[in-house]
A and B are shown apart, each in its own frame.
Chain A
Amino acid sequence: DAKTTQPPSMDCAEGRAANLPCNHSTISGNEYVYWYRQIHSQGPQYIIHGLKNNETNEMASLIITEDRKSSTLILPHATLRDTAVYYCIVSPQNDKLIFGQGTTLQVKP
């Protein structure tokens, strides 16, 4: 079973920030938080990962709470092309990914 809990769906207005929450209260010390997304009919795409510290790349920012029991993925300026299912996964490095149901993000014009 997935070790994360995400809301099933969220809406966001185009151009606004999308904040996607994830709970992972049973995360182990050697597990990273990964975010992937899956656009309709495509394979999942890696977005970002983190261990303890907040991370930012060209796609998104990842905020991890100090106790590591939850995190938030931030898409700073959502576009229509960001409409997808977003998966939050906790896993050791170089290991299988256990996907949950994810959050379906709908970006609306």
Chain B
Amino acid sequence: GAGVSQTPSNKVTEKGKYVELRCDPISGHTALYWYRQSLGQGPEFLIYFQGTGAADDSGLPNDRFFAVRPEGSVSTLKIQRTERGDSAVYLCASSLMVGSYEQYFGPGTRLTVT
């Protein structure tokens, strides 16, 4: 079946611009996670949704970052006033909440801020 998909696969933007990154989780998965990965580092947790609500947003670095999941399926990560330090691969993962231990990751969106 279809896995987690993320669009776009690559995004280049100028410093100060606004960007949106999209995640389509596996159908029926109620939990959705966003991580970001800088070069040479392990993924870093950003935010976790259970259904439509953010269950844990403790990883968002500052108020320029915001994420939504209005219908409990697709999620969008929004970054305002981008900075060069935001350049990274943004990963999305989804999982079943009940009886599941595995998070399924998408291929990521590579964001480059010039």
Binding site for B on A (CB under 8 A): 2, 32, 34, 42-46, 49, 85, 87, 93-102
Contacts and interface: CB of A to CB of B under 8 A. Distances in A.
A46 B102 contact: yes
B111 interface: no
Interface string B6-47: 000000000000000000000000010101000001111100
Given A42-B107, A46-B104, A49-B101, A97 B95 contact: no
B105 A45 contact: yes
Nearest to B44: A99
21 contacts: A2-B42, A43-B4, A43-B106, A44-B103, A44-B105, A45-B105, A46-B101, A46-B102, A49-B101, A49-B102, A94-B97, A95-B48, A95-B56, A96-B45, A96-B48, A96-B59, A97-B35, A97-B45, A98-B45, A101-B41, A101-B42
Contacts of B102: 46, 49
Contacts of B104: 46
A58 B17 CA distance: 46
B42 A102 contact: yes
B93 interface: yes
Given A34-B101, A101-B42, A96 B107 contact: no
Contacts of B48: 95-96
Nearest to B97: A94
Interface string B58-96: 010000000000000000000000000000000101010
Counting from the closest, the 7 A-B pairs by CB-CB distance are: A43-B105, A99-B42, A46-B102, A96-B45, A99-B43, A44-B105, A49-B101
Most buried by A among B102, B103, B104: B103
Contacts of A2: 42
Contact of A100 (B31, B42, B97, B103): B42
B90 to A, nearest CB: 11
Contacts of B97: 94
B44 A93 contact: no
Contacts of A95: 48, 56
Contacts of B107: 42-43
